[in-house]
Chain A
Amino acid sequence: MSNATTKNQTVHRVSFLDKDSLHIPILKVLQADGTTYEKAVLPLIDEKLAKRVHDTLVFTRVLDERMLGAQRQGRISFYMTCTGEEAAIVGSASALDDGDVILAQYREHAALRYRGFTTEQFMNQLFSNEKDLGKGRQMPIHYGSEALNYQTISSPLGTQIPQATGVAYGLKMKGQRNVAICYFGEGAASEGDFHAGLNMAAVLNAPTIFFCRNNGYAISTPTEEQFAGNGIASRGVGYGMHTIRVDGNDMLAVMAATQQARAFAIENNAPVLIEAMTYRLGAHSSSDDPSGYRSKEEEAKWQQHDPVKRFKLWLLNKGWLTEAEDAALYEKYREEVLAAVKVAEQLPVPHLDELIEDVLDEPTPILKQQLKALKQHVKKYPKSYPKSAGRL
């Protein structure tokens, strides 16, 4: 059956396909005013789920606002927001089972929150204190939690994509009815790992959800300098994979697509690609200034498509939320985050002994020697190493 082309029509004169040969519709459920489209099919959602989603959205907005502020004040060294992309992230995360493994890129902390990462846990990572699950080894926002099935963030782009295929294949082999979901941006989809990961998932029948946040920019590079084809979705079809494009600022569309993608992936042991069309309202990171590559007008236009506001309007329409409840939730989280900052920044950093742990399962003899020499050195010059000299 190699190169089976039985379904192919035969032609006898040259005729090229082009990028418009494939028509990719975009799923929209929720309108800007918070009402749903007339014929829209809603996801499975009840008041409890809706409130959990809303709670996550509000927390994430507050966290991003406060921690970007904290970075500006020099209290943390770095920060990344997901502002504008919350519906894509939370909508997809809410469609998962807690046993589904999340492999995120770095802008999906809202999914981690949805899973149950506490305010304190966020702060411990951001301040690299001794309670940070990552032991203070990575820059802020590189969260991870085994308990929550959320693999620790790695800065290199796209590396998580073939890994997700491997995770998913393993889940299948273990007989778990779970998927791996892999988040990445449209920029990371240019990496070779994207091709490797999607092709292997399709060929090896790995129940993976590849979730692309097509947010318009890879740092400064706009999508038109990133790819010339019909978005990321067109590639999924090429790999032989179920594919859908959704309005990434439409919570209900993202939920509907991901719920069905998950069911399909598990029933068929097959991957699915979701391309969520959205916009990175904030800078790439606290080290970036978008005024060098895009206009205020463009940003203002996308502010009109704020996904958090759109979902809130739907909740108000449903009678599942009041303006007063919404405002109170923001207030609650502002206070909670502020209080957590004050606690986390006072905690000591991890002990120096932890510097050599986890390189391998056990420190090597040479590494133990290096630590011993380092400690003697720190003892000799305690003022030069204030973070560790107090506790040797």
Chain B
Amino acid sequence: MLHAINEALVIAMEADDKMLVFGEDVGHFGGVFRATSGLQDKFGKSRCFNTPLTEQGIAGFANGLASNGMTPVAEIQFADYIFPAFDQIVNETAKFRYRSGNEFDVGGVTFRTPYGGGIAGGHYHSQSPEAYFTGTPGLKVVIPRNAAQAKGLLLASIRDPNPVIFFEPKRLYRASVGEVPEGDYEIELGKAEVIREGSDITLLAWGAQMEVIEQAADLAKKEGISCEVIDLRTLAPWDIDTVAASVKKTGRLLVSHEAPLTGGFAGEIAATIQQECFLYLESPISRVCGLDTPYPLIHEKEYMPDALKNFEAIKASIKF
């Protein structure tokens, strides 16, 4: 996936000479995960550079650039460290257009940030903070599931006329090595993708959790349960139509994410789908999520909404 992200950045920078890439350690070193490797050599230090160590500064700087017609693609080194930038993102990025009556906007901003667990990272290298941002009107939130998706979604995010927070599943950075199409392509934001058709239950997730619900779908298949698997891809704005159409067909929905259950985005999805599909539902909408604790270290495996927990929830939903 890292290579695909790097390729997308190169393509976008070649096509748009107003695009800048910056953040902590992204310059000469190419980022702690090496997503920006080689960019400074290729495009020079004025277009790809290290910033001082200040996330609020990075976000504010990006807002300023974008407000004046530039295309900033800023990296926050870990999503766990996005919070010093919360004020700039929530009160500024998200409201720039609205508060000025569209006199000004920062639509050119893209924040890239690695999120998620499964890497023995404990509290501060594992969190999934997407719901803090989906609850903020004025932002788009995008999360890819694999390398090919990352490339197309990142290119679309950079070029979207709205600010985008692009969460990258760091657990898959090196693990996701599937085929990536050559050249420049975009995957439309706001569209979910049905990646496996089925008839008994709809499984919905995004990012690294896709791999997990696919494993759960495989386990269920052995028990004769046919799962329809959907990757939401864009959380804000999210594709209600695709999910609702699937649930009307299967009659059941399971939503899974790593973030804690309470206040997680699955709750929003469940509320909307029960509204849209109330008469079609055969069982309560199931949420398989992280526990309502800070992200732990030694009990990470127990905390995670893994394939077995999803499998059990699928069976419970079918038997309801």
Contact = CB atoms under 8 A, between A and B. Distances in A.
The interface size bin for chain A is 35 or more
Contacts of A221: 24-25, 27, 29, 50, 52-53
A326 interface: no
Interface string A358-392: 01000010110011001001101100110110000
Given A138-B297, A139-B120, A139-B121, A218 B24 contact: yes
A192 interface: yes
A114 to B, nearest CB: 25
A93 to B, nearest CB: 24
Q: Is the interface of B mostly helix, strand, loop or mixed?
A: loop
Interface stretch (A19-27, A153-161, A257-265, A267-275): A153-161
A191 B60 CA distance: 13
A351 to B, nearest CB: 10
A220 interface: yes
Given A138-B123, A156-B80, A355-B299, A220 B293 contact: no
Chief secondary structure at chain A's binding surface: loop
A265 B91 CA distance: 38
B28 A137 contact: no
Contact of A387 (B50, B83, B301): B301
Contact of A136 (B81, B297, B308): B297
B278 interface: no
A48 B28 CA distance: 47
B121 A359 contact: no
A187 interface: yes
Contacts, number: 134
A350 interface: yes
A156 B83 contact: yes
Contacts of A366: 261-262, 292
Contact of B309 (A190, A292, A377): A377
A163 interface: no
Contacts of B61: none
A370 B296 CA distance: 15
A128 B25 contact: no
Which size class do B's interface residues fall under? Answer: 35 or more
Given A220-B25, A377-B312, A190 B292 contact: no
Nearest to B300: A387
22 contacts: A77-B120, A136-B298, A137-B122, A137-B298, A138-B124, A139-B120, A142-B122, A155-B123, A192-B56, A218-B24, A218-B53, A219-B29, A220-B32, A227-B52, A288-B32, A350-B298, A352-B302, A356-B291, A380-B312, A381-B308, A384-B306, A387-B301
Enumerate the 4 nearest inter-chain pairs by beta-carbon distance, A residue then B residue, closest first.
Answer: A136-B298, A155-B124, A220-B29, A190-B52
Interface of B: 24-25, 27-30, 32, 49-50, 52-57, 80-81, 83-84, 120-125, 261-262, 291-294, 296-299, 301-303, 306, 308-309, 312
Interface of A: 77-78, 128, 136-139, 142, 154-157, 187-188, 190-193, 218-221, 225-227, 287-288, 292-293, 349-350, 352, 355-356, 359, 364, 366-367, 370-371, 374, 377-378, 380-381, 384-385, 387-388
